[in-house]
């Protein structure tokens, strides 16, 4: 780890700061404050967290050597001369001695060198190479001229990550450099106003080698591995990526490659620091992932490993690997660190999505987020363990690393260590971007995303064109008014004929599987009228329905976000795989058998494996589970499943199907937009009730809303071989067609 060669403790790092030409605080007091130029509050160099600071202002060489030998710092920070009436930083002096040559600078240290030297001086390439050749492992330097504002930002980012975490110099530099590129390079604030742009790549540089994690096998284990018949992989980590939303302090802007790349590198460096300093606390045998069990080779074991990161965040990882690796704690810990840091990109910016291409323009102002400063939203994909780490670090007041990336909120959780001065320093570099006239116009023209209502998840067909007059007639009749005399015989339900009886399920051909976009099964019945265009259904149209949904699942469910095809065109294998993955994600691993897809689900109904696919399709096509008793589970749902037979004598099958649906599919339904929210064609409501389906137009209605005489009881239509329901509109249309044929002599 960082500076361990100097014998310092794990949670301690010492810094000797040498300032040439006066105190930084003096310059801070002299900075003019005006309306045109924002204030930049220079931070004080002081001890904080894991960082202990010893400050020397313009010391002599003897004074420097005396403090250096007694203090034994891990880092020596050398700041150049502060030039009067200028934003630039000058050469390096100790007293009256000029240290602009490598020989003079190396002679100051004598025979002992620190682990890291930071040279905050312009054109310090030769000095850095001289120190590195003398044995300083890591040297940070600048190749070009720069202003004291950008130098202060980089130094503050470097020291913030050191005081927050026990980090390695390499990782700390990568983090600070990402913060520098995010706020200084992107906003063209690298050089001062009176200096010329240079062709050299701007920013600080690092001399030194990246750290390596020792994953070599012990000699005994090497001999056992050679005797093994198979070359097994060291470890494999089972973890999914999740999308996280960050609010970043700054003026709203287009999420370009520089911004996203800087945030990627900064968060990756931050997570690398946490993992590189983590410790394995516990490991226990665990069952393999259900979808991966069949692919394991002989000798592979699975472990559940509990880690604590260097900032005391706790994570748990599911790991598989050879027995030689998994039963050696130190070797297992090193392999997991190497797998997470070296062999994978930890953070991925969603640059291809629409959210990342368009600016999140609205200023989400809140005193709890970045102390009320302006912020913008960025979405990133990170591993699940990384999201757990970031969520645990955000409420920590002493953790300052997130602040230097401008991150003020993580998934709605505010970063507790964000202060007002931090916001002012970060917004100082956004002054050029905030004056862009194009940006100002986009702020006015674009509606904030949090004001846009969410897309509807359920739909209903529009009322039929001619239904209005029919409904008026029916309602007038209900209220006691007269209504036209209609031939009741023409409106009576048409009994089923022999060709309408259900047959055992034997699959459908591709040509007969679905009917258009609605996903209705093509059967040899009367022609089905195409439904009218759909409109959005009003949310929570019935308070009873809303209460029923809440009572079924009191916890809010996020959308699954899977790439599964719509349920109307989804294959059964794809559906079952998605259900298995969802159950595992929700923690219901007991419902997923070890044999995977071949044995899922393990529930048996009517001597056959439960047909989850057709059960789900039939329920969501009738408004979902919240419809309750409005669905005839035995007559309408069970008859469409492979578990049904013509000689079925099962009792209580409706309650059995409900119980299986609640166990396997209820949460899955709530996390997907598969429900076809049918509404009654008579009352245009989606409230629960006794639903019947018209056999001609395929529309749904509440049986209680149909006030025609001679309809019989609901149970006459709910039975498997019961009567076929014909809605009032189709009955009248059929009557008119028969009358027209009679008049024409047919």
Mean pLDDT in consecutive groups of 10 residues from the start of the chain, 746 residues: 42 87 46 59 87 91 91 92 76 85 89 92 91 93 88 92 91 94 76 46 88 74 47 77 91 84 92 93 85 69 91 91 86 91 80 46 68 88 93 91 92 90 86 46 42 51 44 42 46 42 41 40 39 39 38 49 84 92 85 87 89 91 76 82 81 87 90 77 74 78 84 75 80 67 48
Q: How far is CA 481 from the centre of its chain?
A: 60
Distance between CA atoms of residues 460 and 608, nearest Å? 34
Strands (E) across 564-690 are located at 604-605, 608-609
Q: Which two tokens stand for residue 612?
A: 């989850």
- Torsion angle of C-alpha atoms 429, 413, 311, 275, degrees rounded to 10: -80
Residue 648: the pLDDT is 73
Q: Which residue has the tokens 């008049």?
A: 743
DSSP H or E stretch at residue 307: strand 300-308
Strand order in the sheet with 138-142: 51-57, 13-19, 75-79, 116-120, 138-142, 204-207
Distance between CA atoms of residues 477 and 708, nearest Å? 10
Strands (E) across 391-522 are located at 407-410, 413-414, 459-461
Q: How far is CA 194 from CA 87, 88, 145, 190, 191, in A?
A: 9, 9, 11, 12, 8
* SS3 label, residue 511: coil
Q: Which sequence spans correspond to the domains of the chain?
A: 13-21+41-188+203-207, 233-352+363-431, 572-677
Residue 365: the pLDDT is 73
Residue 76: the pLDDT is 95
Q: How far is CA 51 from CA 12, 370, 393, 642, 687, in A?
A: 6, 24, 18, 68, 64
Q: Which two tokens stand for residue 97?
A: 């001695």
Q: Report the interhelical angle of 612-620 vs 653-664 (nearest 10°).
A: 90
Residue 133: the pLDDT is 92
Q: What angle do CA 164, 170, 176 make, to 5 degrees?
A: 55
Strands (E) across 153-299 are located at 204-207, 235-238, 241-249, 279-285
Query: What is 696-709 written as a DSSP string?
Result: TT--EEEGGG---T
Residue 73: the pLDDT is 93
The model's pTM is: 0.58
Asked if 289 and 318 count as a contact pair (C-beta separation under 8 A), the reply is yes
Distance between CA atoms of residues 547 and 175, nearest Å? 49
Distance between CA atoms of residues 724 and 716, nearest Å? 9
**CA dihedral sign of residues 385, 386, 389, 390:** negative
Which is nearest to 76 in space by CA: 2, 140, 126?
140
Distance between CA atoms of residues 560 and 155, nearest Å? 42
What residues contact 234, with CB distance under 8 A and at least 6 apart?
Answer: 215, 321, 322, 325, 335, 339
Residue 86: the pLDDT is 72
Distance between CA atoms of residues 24 and 84, nearest Å? 12
Asked if 318 and 286 count as a contact pair (C-beta separation under 8 A), the reply is yes
Residue 138: the pLDDT is 96
Residue 31: the pLDDT is 53
Q: For residue 114, how many C-alpha atoms fall within 13 Å in the half-sphere facing its CB?
A: 28
Q: Which residues pair with 377 in a beta bridge?
A: 247
Distance between CA atoms of residues 721 and 716, nearest Å? 9
């Amino acid at each position: 780890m960082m500076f361990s060669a100097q014998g310092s403790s794990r949670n301690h790092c010492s810094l000797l700061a040498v300032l040439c030409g006066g105190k930084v605080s003096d310059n801070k007091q002299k900075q003019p404050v005006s309306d045109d130029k924002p204030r930049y509050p220079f931070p004080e160099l002081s001890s904080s967290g894991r960082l202990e600071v010893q400050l020397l202002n313009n010391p002599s060489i003897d004074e420097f050597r005396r403090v250096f030998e007694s203090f034994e710092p891990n880092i020596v920070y050398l700041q150049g001369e502060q030039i009067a009436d200028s934003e630039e930083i000058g050469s390096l002096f100790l007293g009256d001695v000029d240290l602009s040559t490598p020989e003079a600078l190396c002679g100051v240290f004598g025979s002992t060198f620190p682990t890291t030297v930071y040279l905050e001086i312009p054109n310090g390439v030769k000095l850095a190479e001289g120190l590195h050749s003398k044995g300083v492992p890591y040297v940070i330097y600048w190749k070009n001229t720069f202003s004291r504002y950008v130098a202060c930002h980089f130094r503050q980012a470097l020291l913030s990550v050191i005081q927050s975490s026990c980090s390695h110099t390499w990782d700390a530099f990568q983090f600070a450099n990402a913060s520098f590129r995010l706020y200084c390079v992107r906003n063209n604030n690298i050089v001062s106003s009176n200096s010329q742009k240079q062709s050299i790549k701007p920013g600080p540089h690092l001399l030194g080698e990246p750290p390596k994690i020792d994953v070599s096998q012990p000699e005994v284990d090497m001999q056992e591995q050679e005797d093994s018949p198979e070359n097994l992989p060291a470890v494999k980590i089972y973890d999914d990526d999740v999308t996280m939303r960050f609010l970043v302090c700054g003026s709203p802007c287009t999420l370009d490659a520089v911004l996203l790349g800087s945030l990627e590198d900064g968060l990756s460096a931050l997570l690398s620091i946490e993992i590189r300093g983590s410790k394995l606390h516990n490991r226990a045998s665990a069952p393999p992932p259900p979808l991966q069990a069949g692919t394991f080779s002989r000798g592979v074991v699975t472990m559940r490993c509990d880690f604590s990161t260097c900032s005391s965040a706790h994570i748990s990882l599911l790991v598989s690997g050879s027995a030689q690796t998994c039963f050696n704690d130190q070797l297992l810990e090193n392999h997991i660190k190497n797998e997470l840091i070296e062999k994978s990109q930890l953070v991925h910016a969603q640059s291809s999505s629409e959210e990342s291409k368009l600016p999140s323009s609205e200023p989400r102002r809140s005193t709890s987020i970045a102390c009320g400063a302006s912020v913008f939203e960025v979405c990133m994909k990170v591993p699940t363990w990384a999201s757990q780490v970031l969520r645990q670090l955000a409420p920590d007041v002493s953790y300052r690393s997130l602040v230097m990336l401008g991150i003020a909120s993580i998934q709605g959780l505010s970063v507790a260590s964000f202060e007002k001065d931090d916001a002012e320093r970060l917004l100082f570099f956004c002054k050029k971007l905030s004056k862009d006239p194009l940006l100002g116009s986009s702020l006015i023209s674009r509606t904030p995303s949090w004001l846009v209502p969410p897309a509807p998840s359920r739909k209903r067909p529009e009322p039929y064109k001619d239904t209005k007059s029919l409904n008026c007639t029916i309602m007038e009749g209900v209220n006691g008014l007269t209504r036209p005399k209609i031939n009741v015989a023409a409106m009576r339900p048409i009994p089923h004929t022999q060709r309408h009886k259900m047959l055992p399920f034997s699959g459908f051909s591709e040509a007969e599987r679905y009917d258009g976009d609605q996903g209705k099964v093509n059967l040899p019945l009367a022609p089905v009228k195409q439904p009218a265009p759909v409109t959005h259904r009003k949310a929570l149209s019935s308070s009873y329905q809303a209460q029923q949904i809440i009572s079924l699942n009191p916890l809010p469910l996020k959308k699954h976000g899977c790439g599964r095809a719509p349920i109307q065109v989804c294959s059964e294998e794809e559906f079952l795989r998605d259900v298995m993955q969802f159950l595992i994600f929700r923690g219901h691993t007991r419902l997923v058998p070890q044999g995977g897809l071949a044995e899922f689900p393990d529930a048996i109904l009517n001597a056959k494996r439960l047909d989850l696919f057709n059960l789900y399709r039939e329920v969501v096509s009738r408004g979902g589970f919240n419809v309750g008793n409005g669905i005839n589970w035995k007559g309408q749902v069970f008859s469409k499943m492979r578990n049904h037979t013509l000689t079925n004598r099962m009792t209580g099958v409706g309650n059995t199907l409900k119980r299986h649906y609640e166990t396997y599919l209820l949460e899955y339904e709530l996390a997907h937009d598969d429900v076809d929210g049918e509404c009654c064609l008579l009352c245009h409501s989606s409230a629960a009730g006794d639903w019947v389906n018209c056999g001609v137009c395929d529309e749904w209605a509440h049986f209680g809303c149909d006030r025609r005489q001679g309809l019989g009881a609901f149970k006459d239509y709910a039975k498997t071989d019961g009567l076929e329901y014909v809605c009032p509109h189709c009955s009248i249309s059929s009557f008119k067609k028969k009358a027209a044929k009679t008049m024409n002599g047919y």
